Amino acid sequence: MTAQPATQVVTVEAGAITPGAAAIARAAQTLAAGGLAAFPTETVYGLGGDATNGAAVARLYAAKERPSFNPLIAHVADSAAALALARFDPAAERLAAAFWPGPLTLVLPKRADCPVAELATAGLDTIAVRVPSHPIARAILMAFGRPVVAPSANRSGHVSPTTAQHVLCDLRGRIELIVDGGPTPMGLESTIVACLDRPVLLRPGALARAEIERLVPLTQAPHAAAPPAHADEPPIAPGGLASHYAPRARLRLNARRVEAGEALLAFGPAPAAGAERAAAMLNLSPRGDLIEAAANLFSHLRALDAAGAATIAVMPVPRAGLGEAINDRLERAAAPRS
């Protein structure tokens, strides 16, 4: 995929929505090639990328200009596919049976063998999963056959798009494809409920709270009352519920040389002084590419942590583009904790 893709818009008529239809097949091919394809869901337009492809997920964050790696929702075709990603407690099973396909997102414990890229879940051990009901979204998910991450298809800080035209305004030249299926029926994002301990409402949305409470009691998230910073953002930071990814090892940031016994998380072509004596070394991007670095960030941190050094020295990563989010996550991982 090129750095500056020409964004193509393909229209799907209501009568022609099948997994084999040309526009649907184009979307599936785009996703399989690591590209980005926006498509309608019953809530808002989503910007789809292959959830199992870390580089595609990194490009997705870059296209949206997200200032940090807010975790993404994995969209799948049916509950059977969702079971391969996450563990369902009885409350989650009831909600899924009642409301999927539909505008409900469940945040669940991620399965150990979940194929979704670490970057998509921002290194958390939970995952947000949704089975959309829109026929175009469903047809794309069935044709593609793997989970698709799809944040709202707007630039960060803008409101969620409900027409293909909105998507084009925000993302022209940044994504490969827009599947135009007309205005989205609901226009409001999915309701997000975490089923980790007891069910907690994380984001009010297109499925009314009362509908959910007919089946399971809901706890309000601690700071869900706080107004969102932008209309686009959920009312709670994901970090408020599940803790941010924290390695066991201490992180030493902006390291220009490696001290005895340290592991090294490198960036770019020039190794840090003393790299040859590092206990273990991985490079986020030997060619200094921030998109590649983002795709590798969480998995490299985990691998170095598992290698057992007490400290991971992290070479400086520039703050341009995705570098801002990479540094944000590194700083959180390096922060002192009890």
Q: What does the binding site for Mg ion look like in residue numbers (CB under 5 A)?
A: 152, 232
Minimum distance, C-beta of residue 197 to Mg ion, in the bound complex (Å): 25
Radius of gyration of the chain (CA): 20
Residue 107 contact partner, candidates Mg ion, ligand TXA, none, CB within 5 to 8 A by sort of partner: ligand TXA
Minimum distance, C-beta of residue 237 to ligand TXA, in the bound complex (Å): 7
Report phi then psi at 322, rounded to 5.
-65, -10
Residue 73 contact partner, candidates Mg ion, ligand TXA, none, CB within 5 to 8 A by sort of partner: ligand TXA
CB neighbours of residue 320 within 10 Å: 8
DSSP type of residue 65:
T
What is the length of the chain?
338
Q: Which is nearer to Mg ion, 232 or 292 (CB)?
A: 232
> Per CB under 6 A, does 178 bind ligand TXA?
no
Q: Determine the Cα angle at 93 with ends 87 and 96, to 5°.
A: 105
> Per CB under 6 A, does 156 bind ligand TXA?
no
Q: How far apart are CA 102 and CA 286, in angstroms?
A: 43
> Per CB under 6 A, does 43 bind ligand TXA?
yes
Q: Which is nearer to ligand TXA, 133 or 283 (CB)?
A: 133
> Per CB under 6 A, does 147 bind ligand TXA?
no
> Per CB under 6 A, does 162 bind ligand TXA?
no
CB of 51 within 8 A of CB of 146?
yes
Q: How far apart are CA 273 and CA 178, in angstroms?
A: 47
Footprint (CB under 6 A) of ligand TXA, residues 191-210 = 192, 202
Amino acid identity of residue 295, one-letter, is: A
Footprint (CB under 6 A) of ligand TXA, residues 234-293 = 234, 238, 241-242
Minimum distance, C-beta of residue 158 to Mg ion, in the bound complex (Å): 9
Instruction: Point out which span in 49-57, 120-128, 274-282, 304-312 binds ligand TXA (CB under 6 A).
Output: 120-128
> Per CB under 6 A, does 150 bind ligand TXA?
yes
Identify the sign of the CA torsion 64, 10, 101, 93.
Answer: negative
Residue 255 contact partner, candidates ligand TXA, Mg ion, none, CB within 5 to 8 A by sort of partner: none
Report phi then psi at 62, rounded to 5.
-65, -45
> Per CB under 6 A, does 36 bind ligand TXA?
no
Q: Does residue 236 sit in helix, strand or coil?
A: coil
Judged by CB under 6 A, which of 38, 72, 143, 291 binds ligand TXA?
Answer: 72
Q: Does residue 80 sit in helix, strand or coil?
A: helix
Residue in this structure with the two tokens 């975790």, named with its chain if needed: 71
Show Cβ contacts of residue 38 under 8 Å, excluding neighbours closer than 6 positions: 45, 46, 47, 48, 153, 161, 164, 167, 171, 175, 177, 178, 179
Residue 63 contact partner, candidates Mg ion, ligand TXA, none, CB within 5 to 8 A by sort of partner: none
Minimum distance, C-beta of residue 219 to ligand TXA, in the bound complex (Å): 14
> Per CB under 6 A, does 127 bind ligand TXA?
yes
Q: Which is nearer to ligand TXA, 107 or 212 (CB)?
A: 107
Report phi then psi at 266, rounded to 5.
-95, 165
The encoded tokens of residue 52 equal: 């199992």
Q: Which is nearer to ligand TXA, 51 or 241 (CB)?
A: 241
> Per CB under 6 A, does 151 bind ligand TXA?
yes
Catalog residues that contact ligand TXA under the rule CB under 6 A: 41, 43-44, 46, 70-73, 105, 107, 121, 124, 126-128, 130, 132, 150-152, 189-190, 192, 202, 234, 238, 241-242
